Amino acid sequence: MRRPGWPTARRSTPRERGAPPALVYAVAAVSALGGLLFGYDTGIISGALLHLRDDLDLSSREQEVVVSVILLGAMAGALVSGRTAVRHGRRKVVVAVAVIFAVGAVAAAVAPDVATLIAARFVLGLAVGGASNMVPVYIAELAPAAVRGRLMVLFQLMVAIGQLIAYLCGWALAGSGGWRVMFALAVIPAVALAVGMLFLPESPRWLIEQHRADDALRTLRRLRPTGADVAAEAAEVTAVTRNAPADGGSWGQLRQRWLRPALLIAVGIAAFSQLTGINAIVYYAPTILDDAGFGDSVALLTGIGIGAMLVVAGVVGAIAVDKAGRRRTMLWFLPGSALAMAVLALAFATPAESAAQRWTVIITLFAYILFNGVGMQAVVWLIGPEVLPLSVRGPATSLATLSVWGFDLLIAMTALTAINTIGRSGTFLFYALMNVACVVFVAVKVPETKGRSLESIERALRDPLPFRRALEKR
């Protein structure tokens, strides 16, 4: 029997480094449908709003509320899902999220008036917040360390695919009443997610927290290559849970000094994921292109192009985070994101609307989406669940996810106001500076978590040395 205390870090054997069982990929693929729904339900409003506003006779203020209320719902969903997952398990929360997605989609599709539509969009936001909070945690806790990065980035890739599908549906179903079909289509992946999750295992880490060690061992044997030392992995998790609070983690536990480096990293990356400007571009790209000399007719096609570029970024990011590492991926790509945003600022500072200027705007717009998509969006849902300790993973990931949606709402509500106040050049220059600040933050604070077990990351966090230095020593 293993002696109490922290176990020494173990190295995986060649056998353990073999190909993970198919169940691991099934877990990632099915649960990542939550990402597809997240992307679809946040992206579909751009196409739906073109005729929705006429069919329901929406004022400008009502349009803003219909667009942004899903973000408020997402903030509430992020807050609730973390604590719920501590009590009832990760898998049950994801199943509940799928049901809420389906209910919200049906309610939005049949909404007879604006009040019902706003309520339905808030319900969809609850599911979006729950999915963005819990699906990455679920994948992180089931995936082997060697492939954890690419499987977790699958969530962000599915978000991008969901947005692309939403833009394509918005283009294909354009016309009066088509928005109802757009909303209703989300029921299909929601049902697939709910049914698929019923056949997947619960997180072995949660099972150990619930003192169900035998169930956790059975689950680990299904998720690890033949011959892998699942008993040692379970013992490592058990050693971590021995230091966990009896209530399974609460908001009050987040005040502990040793947690501060992890919280700073998780919340900082969450904030920079929005402050670097990605959703200002995604939400308002048609306006930007119109000002660059293109007509309104390209609005939907622009969305399709943005969605396609986000998918490309997701694929590249999925490869990069495990090949190059999380920290290195950010440090390689975020400078390109900053440069592209700075070039956009300079392009809009040029008074002449020449063909060269217009194409400069288009090229740098898509370059920005690629660089930011790989360097930031591929990592934002990955880094938090990795660095946040098991004992407080529920409330701590809720806080990080809440930060994503809070800053997303801030950008959504201020981007056009900023453009009207300080101009497009000034606004994009601010976003460029935020990209630079993010590079500095990553260089100083963020450690490399590639290939590390979640338990070894937590041990480094408890080490008296600075977090980054302690993890690099292991």
294 falls within a domain: yes
Whether 274 and 192 share a structural domain: no
State the amino acid at position 385 in one-letter form: P
CA distance 123 to 131: 13
Question: Residues 138, 263: one domain?
Answer: no
> 139 and 283: one domain?
no
Whether 329 and 439 share a structural domain: yes
Number of Cβ within 10 Å of residue 110's Cβ equals 13
Q: Which of 200, 216, 238 is the last residue in one of the domains? A: 200
Tell which residue, 269, 234, 437, has the closest CA to residue 338: 437
Q: Which of 152-161, 343-352, 401-410 has the lowest mean pLDDT?
A: 343-352
| Mean per-residue pLDDT of the chain | 84
- The CATH number that applies at residue 408 is 1.20.1250.20
Note whether 263 and 412 are same-domain residues: yes
Tens digit of pLDDT for each residue in 382-430?
888 889 887 787 788 888 888 998 998 888 778 877 888 898 899 999 9
**How many Cα atoms occupy the beta-carbon half-sphere of 85 within 13 Å?**
34
Q: Is the dihedral of CA 72, 76, 82, 85 positive or negative?
A: negative
Shared domain for 419 and 278, answered yes or no, is yes
Kindly state whether residues 288 and 184 are assigned to the same domain.
Answer: no
Over residues 362-370, the mean pLDDT reads 89
pTM: 0.77
* Residues 174, 265 within the same domain: no
Parent domain of 440: 256-474
Separation of alpha carbons 144 and 133, rounded Å: 20
CA–CA separation, 162 vs 41, rounded Å?
A: 8
In the chain, what is the straight-line distance between the N-terminal and C-terminal CA atoms, in Å? Answer: 24
State yes or no: pLDDT of 243 exceeds 90: no
Looking at the structure, tell me whether residues 288 and 427 fall in a common domain.
Answer: yes
Q: How many CB atoms lie within 10 A of CB 123?
A: 22
